[in-house]
Structure 1
Amino acid sequence: MVPVDRNRVAKPASLTAPNGAGHREHLRAAMYYQSPRNKAYGFAHYKEPDVVTALNKLFHNKCAYCEGKITSTGPIDVEHFRPKGQIEGEVNHPGYWWLATEWTNLLASCIDCNRGRNQTLLGSEDGQRLTQGERLSGKHDHFPVAGPRATCATDDHALEDPLLIDPTCVDPGEHIGWKVVADQPLAVAISQYGQTSIDLFGLNRSKLAEARLEYQLKLDEEFLCLKTTIHKIAKETTDEGVREWMPVLQMHIDRFFSHAKANNEYSAFARHIVDSRYDTVSEMVDALLARVARESPVGAAAR
């Protein structure tokens, strides 16, 4: 997960316009819930085409939680951060129905992060040995909070303390880190919020860890190409030869560090890898530039 600024995408008109489908549906739901109900209202308009388009743009066609790319073969689930129909473990809670068509409660999610499914999950109790087991994961109707919970439309849900991370409200990097255990890149908890999110979203499911490993191998290959380029430049004997190599070096540097940008798949994990290599790249480039400065006519004149 990476921080997401929801304000960079306009609110979908179907949810906000007075005559929009979402707004009209909210009014019908409010009337429906004026009397106690045993069955949740059947919302449908939170996934209007303009909502899906806006969510795909906001999250760069990625799942808000695992950052896997969402494709035509695996369309997004329009995810309610606060579940709209019921809350797991809360028998008498009607769900946050009043937020069912609220833009700030909607995120883009892949099926595996959003729906309850049996998954092979990886872990490590000591940070060294890899463990794995199959169990149910996926957010589904879970929404654990620390302390009081809003139970009706007149309660201020902003006073809640959710134990799950909404990347549009919280910086996930403060709660989730990364560690490679037995060659498997795992999300590791920095806080209780991170641990709950890792567990419920299934951020260490085996297929996801395999995808991150494949991405890491790609980064390792690019890093090797970057180091090789620097070594080749260092062997040049003339300033002209060095200058000819510099655009190639810049291309390798830009490509390697671009993986940490938020629009890329698994960018939080990629940032971890890139940051861990930053000092090495910086030292190698500084040493190269220092050598060029010493051996150039300007450098020689300065001595």
Structure 2
Amino acid sequence: MGKAPRRQEHLRARREMIRYETAEAEEVGRRVDALVPNWRARAAKATQQMAAQQKFSGDGPSWSDVKPVYMRFQHNKCIFCERPLAGEVAGKVEQDVEHFRPKNALKPWPPKQPKGQPAPYVFGTGAAGAGYYWLAYELTNYAASCKPCNSTRKANYFPIASGNRGGAGQDVAALNAGEQPFLPYPLGTVDVDPETLIAFDGIVAKPIAADGPDHRRALVTIDFFGLNTREELWADRFRTISDLWTKLELIETSSDARRVETATRGVEDVLSDAAPQASCARSFYRLYKSDPIAAYDTYLVAERFWRSKLRPAES
């Protein structure tokens, strides 16, 4: 049997975190209405009350009621770190509804450094603030995230490049323009595509831009969510590129058309929005397509790191 025709050139590859383009405001609202028909009306009433009080109150509907909408958009992955999470039964406990702009008082990020330690950045990241109470029930201010990203890291922080935080009542577009947030919002197209900011060298997240605002956004995002310091993410990414490498090599070397076809479908799955660590996979795929030898070297470096840091007994 002759070799099957190669299909790699048709496979889709882009760049942590990834954009979910279908999650535009209108579609999010439509799905919320279908799931909880009176949710938006109750949210609007609560938002009016908060506008009069000029502070957050918990008198509105439960945002957990609409959590499945975001879980489905995100294919049960964390919006920030792309870690796979449980589905709609167990996932209601494991996944949090993340308020992208915090509803309560904001803390400065990064936290104050110990005495004698230099500041981590040469640029400002925004001061404390009153919080974005008027966005507490705004659907375009929500996402689904894992607890390590939300509770441990995101909390009541929201770093911005501008020295001035937006005023009460401003919508997301106006806030983005005025505040220049460092953290990208991956749902819909209200913000830039995160894959234009961050790519991967093996299992390590790196800014794409060498300098400038996009470099700073990527750097802060990587540091903020601990994308290069969390063992569970290293493990996920190594498994991803290991699986991808095996499939790509089979496509290149096998003379069995059926095995090649199966591997090709597998590569398409690994690169899809629904796959864990899709951004890492896409970066590795691009490298493989442009320089297979460099891809192999990158794979070996990732493997050595995996064995030394995550499985030291086998190194």
In the superposition, the TM-score normalised over structure 2's length comes to 0.67
Contact 2:19 2:193 in 1 (8 A): yes
Alignment of 1:246 onto 2:257: yes
Distance 1:11 1:154, change over 3 A: closer
The alpha-carbon deviation at position 264 of structure 1 amounts to 0.7
Contact 2:47 2:137 in 1 (8 A): no
Residue 149 of structure 2 is matched in structure 1 by 113
Match for residue 194 of structure 1 among 215, 218, 233: 218
The alpha-carbon deviation at position 2 of structure 1 amounts to 0.9
Contact 1:84 1:96 in 2 (8 A): yes
Tell me the SS of whatever aligns to 2:144: strand
The alpha-carbon deviation at position 48 of structure 1 amounts to 4.0
Identity, % of aligned pairs? 25
Residue 268 of structure 1 is matched in structure 2 by 279
How many aligned positions are there?
A: 239
Q: Which amino acid in 2 is paired with 1:199?
A: D
Contact 1:16 1:22 in 2 (8 A): no
Once residues 29 and 61 of structure 2 are traced to their aligned partners in structure 1, the CA distance between those partners, rounded to angstroms, is 14
In the superposition, the TM-score normalised over structure 1's length comes to 0.69
Instruction: Map 1:89-100 onto structure 2 (within 5 A).
Output: 89=108, 93-100=129-136
Q: Which amino acid in 2 is paired with 1:79?
A: E
Residue 295 of structure 1 is matched in structure 2 by none
Distance 1:18 1:141, change over 3 A: same
Residue 160 of structure 2 is matched in structure 1 by 145
The alpha-carbon deviation at position 262 of structure 1 amounts to 0.7
Residue 106 of structure 2 is matched in structure 1 by 87
The alpha-carbon deviation at position 254 of structure 1 amounts to 2.8
Distance 1:176 1:279, change over 3 A: closer
More divergent stretch after superposition (25-34 vs 60-69): 25-34
Structure 1 or 2, whichever has the larger Rg, is 1
Instruction: Map 1:1-303 onto structure 2 (within 5 A).
Output: 1-5=17-21, 6-7=23-24, 9-11=27-29, 20-35=38-53, 40-42=56-58, 45-49=61-65, 51-71=66-86, 72=90, 75-89=94-108, 93-116=129-152, 138-147=153-162, 148-154=164-170, 156-160=174-178, 161-168=180-187, 169-180=191-202, 185-190=203-208, 191-204=215-228, 205-229=230-254, 233=255, 245-279=256-290
Q: Which amino acid in 1 is paired with 2:157?
A: H
Gaps of 5+ in 2: 1-16, 109-125, 209-214, 293-315
Once residues 17 and 253 of structure 1 are traced to their aligned partners in structure 2, the CA distance between those partners, rounded to angstroms, is 36
Gaps of 5+ in 1: 117-137, 234-244, 282-303
Once residues 112 and 22 of structure 1 are traced to their aligned partners in structure 2, the CA distance between those partners, rounded to angstroms, is 29
